[in-house]
Amino acid sequence: MPAGKSIMLFGAGQIGAMIARLIGSDYSVICFADNFEGKWGSTLAGIPVRSPEEGLSLHPDAVCLCVLDEERASQMEAQLRELCYDGTVLRPTALRTFDARAATMRLLAEQIREEAIPGDVAELGVFRGEFAAMINAAFPERTIRLFDTFAGFPERDVAIESEQGLSRAKTGDFSDTEVELVRRRLPLPEKAAFYKGYFPDTFPADEALRFAFVSIDADLYAPTAAALPLFWERLSPGGVLLIHDVNSTQFSGAGKAVREFCRKQGLLPMPVCDLHGSVVLRRPLRE
């Protein structure tokens, strides 16, 4: 057994997979536990998945609840206590405060500024503007171009998800937003340009437009597959695409689109250990 106390990760999903990779030397992961019987006997991130009862039979020193929803976490902790587990229970709620994707974006912003890499910044998949506001603050001198339907997932994109078994997305998911809500959230709204509607129809035709940083968080296959070549072609040397959900168990279409694009371009995406499986693609300074 490797050094460190033993820990069982309760919740064999996307959050659990990333927590398994974030665990330091204080703990050694012995297994995942999950209430879904269909996962028992499989592996996630190379770690076996067991029932909660079987996992607890290994006598872990601690259990980490691999969810961020407090109500669900409380239910899971109550379940552990009913199974007579009286050890340490960890909740990863601090990970909401320490955001690896935001940290990566800010470090890239500093480097882009130091290297004087030209271009605007952008985000595809804005929703309510939380990450857009952070990009806006990190690149205060640059125009931020924001692309979203502002009406949730389009029916035609959801149809592709269903046909290819990529996700359980529904038409209108993430529709609880509007342009003015996002504008009010931005620290520098005067630097923002909004492109409301179906992507890629809203992508500007100006061939002189260049980007230094782009966040792609469209979740689904079709908009991600459309966005990658469009933004890559307009990306300045040294510019960056930060793509969300590439290693997601909830939205596998984004990862499919990235893998297809990278095979065509001969690129190797750099993973980011955030909770939603982001990756970085960077254009070389010289090609």
CATH of the domain at 62: 3.40.50.720
Domain boundary among the residues 51, 72, 96 is at 96
Residue 137 half-sphere exposure toward CB, CA atoms < 13 A: 14
Mean pLDDT, to the nearest integer, of 70-82? 96
127 with 20, same domain: the answer is: no
Please report the pLDDT score of residue 167 as a whole number.
94
Q: Is the pLDDT of residue 1 over 50?
A: no
Domain boundary among the residues 96, 114, 130 is at 96
Measured distance CA(78)–CA(24) in Å, rounded: 26
43-44, strands of its sheet edge to edge: 43-44, 47-50, 27-33, 5-10, 62-65, 88-90
Measured distance CA(195)–CA(201) in Å, rounded: 10
248 with 264, same domain: the answer is: yes
197 with 235, same domain: the answer is: yes
* Residue 266 Cα to chain centre, angstroms: 23
Please report the pLDDT score of residue 47 as a whole number.
96
Mean pLDDT, to the nearest integer, of 219-241? 98
Reported pTM: 0.88
- Judge whether 106 lies within some domain: yes
For the stretch 191-202, pLDDT in tens is 999 999 999 999
Mean pLDDT, to the nearest integer, of 248-272? 95
Return the beta strands (E) in 151-231 as ranges: 192-196, 211-216
132 with 195, same domain: the answer is: yes
- Judge whether 287 lies within some domain: no
90 with 142, same domain: the answer is: no
Q: Is the pLDDT of residue 2 over 50?
A: no
146 with 44, same domain: the answer is: no
Please report the pLDDT score of residue 283 as a whole number.
97
Please report the pLDDT score of residue 3 as a whole number.
58
59 with 111, same domain: the answer is: no
144 with 268, same domain: the answer is: yes
DSSP string, 224-285: HHHHHHHHHHTEEEEEEEEETTTT-SS-HHHHHHHHHHHHHHT--PEE--STT--EEEE--S
Number of domains forming the structure of the chain? 2
- Judge whether 55 lies within some domain: yes
250 with 117, same domain: the answer is: yes
- Judge whether 123 lies within some domain: yes
- Judge whether 194 lies within some domain: yes
Measured distance CA(274)–CA(21) in Å, rounded: 10
Domain boundary among the residues 96, 116, 144 is at 96
Range of the domain at 143: 100-282
Q: Is the pLDDT of residue 4 over 80?
A: no
11 with 73, same domain: the answer is: yes
Q: Is the pLDDT of residue 71 over 60?
A: yes
Please report the pLDDT score of residue 187 as a whole number.
98
Measured distance CA(135)–CA(176) in Å, rounded: 21
- Tell me, what CATH number does 161's domain have? 3.40.50.150
121 with 247, same domain: the answer is: yes
157 with 44, same domain: the answer is: no
